[in-house]
Amino acid sequence: MKQSAQVPDATEDPRPAAAQPLRVPAQPAAADRERTRDRDAVAGGDDAPEHTTHGRPPPGRPGAPVRRSSVRGQVLDALRAALTAGDLRPGEVYSAPVLGERFGVSATPVREAMQQLALEGAVEVVPNRGFRVVERDARELAELAEVRALIEVPVLLRLARTVPAERWARLRPVAEATVRAASSGCPVTYAEADRAFHREVLALAGNEQLLRVAGDLHRRAQWPSVGAPAVRGRAGLTADAHQHTALLDALITGDQDLVRALVAEHFATAL
């Protein structure tokens, strides 16, 4: 079993541990709908204004009171981005006070965000120490790809039969946005664009529960696994993005066999 990283005590100076920069974005780029849902899912808590460990308000609109739920959501977005980027490493333990110091917020919203990630299977609680990033292997990623295909392929085939070509054509800018995001080489930027494309495609089914389940599976599939590169390079991201445009072309023409083949390839190569 991999040796867990030593977690500094909350009273120690955490700055040497900040090898990977983690920041709470003032306006996170993640979709507002996902943020709202995730805030609601985080356990309890009041809406009292959050105070940072430095005596200044956390990032946000100048002069606007920042509610604790807002800070929680921003920290959750930032932690998810750190997972996708490989800044939070599988097998290592992170304490809420130390991460809070690095974020510039108190430990409370970090702990609550980590609890949500524990519910999602990204981390596990280590009593009296913090949270360990789950070590996932290639088998788990393959299982996620299989489940995603079982859910999404039948939906896409039905949509290919029923949605008119002009409606699919309206999604062209969303598909092209993934290509631009891939060209940046930033895994977090691409992950957001990737989820946005799949969400817009599945939204045509008009099923909110489908969007919720598929979105959760998709996000989990984007976390790196043990033994694999922490992040894919620009070439890998670009190849993945071009599969979006090919899939959209197949949906426009209503070629169900090609849709099935492209989705299977897309999920498999995303591992």
Judge if 152 and 263 occupy the same domain: yes
Judge if 153 and 166 occupy the same domain: yes
Q: Measure Cα distances from 51 to 62, 100, 120, 123 in Å.
A: 15, 11, 27, 25
Inside any domain, residue 6: no
Inside any domain, residue 2: no
pLDDT, one tens digit per residue, over 157-175 is 999 999 999 999 999 999 9
Inside any domain, residue 19: yes
Q: Which of 78, 110, 133 is the last residue of a domain?
A: 133
Q: Check: CB of residue 191 under 8 Å from CB of residue 84.
A: yes
Domain count for the chain, please give it. 2
pLDDT, one tens digit per residue, over 246-271 is 999 999 999 999 999 999 888 877 65
Q: Check: CB of residue 98 under 8 Å from CB of residue 61.
A: no
| pLDDT mean over 17-36 | 42
For strand 130-133 and strand 93-94, is the pairing parallel, antiparallel, or unpaired? antiparallel
pLDDT of residue 2 exceeding 80: no
Judge if 149 and 123 occupy the same domain: no
Mean of per-residue pLDDT scores for the chain: 78
Judge if 189 and 213 occupy the same domain: yes
Judge if 75 and 95 occupy the same domain: yes
**Following DSSP, what letter does each residue of 67-89 receive, concatenated?**
BHHHHHHHHHHHHHHHHHHT-S-
Judge if 201 and 232 occupy the same domain: yes
Instruction: Read off the amino acid at residue 109.
Output: P
Tell me, what CATH number does 175's domain have? 1.20.120.530
- Supply 259's token pair: 């849709």
Q: In terms of residue numbers, what domain contains 21?
A: 15-133
User: ∠ CA(39), CA(44), CA(49), 5° rounding?
Assistant: 75
Judge if 54 and 142 occupy the same domain: no
What pLDDT does 231 receive?
55
Tell me, what CATH number does 37's domain have? 1.10.10.10
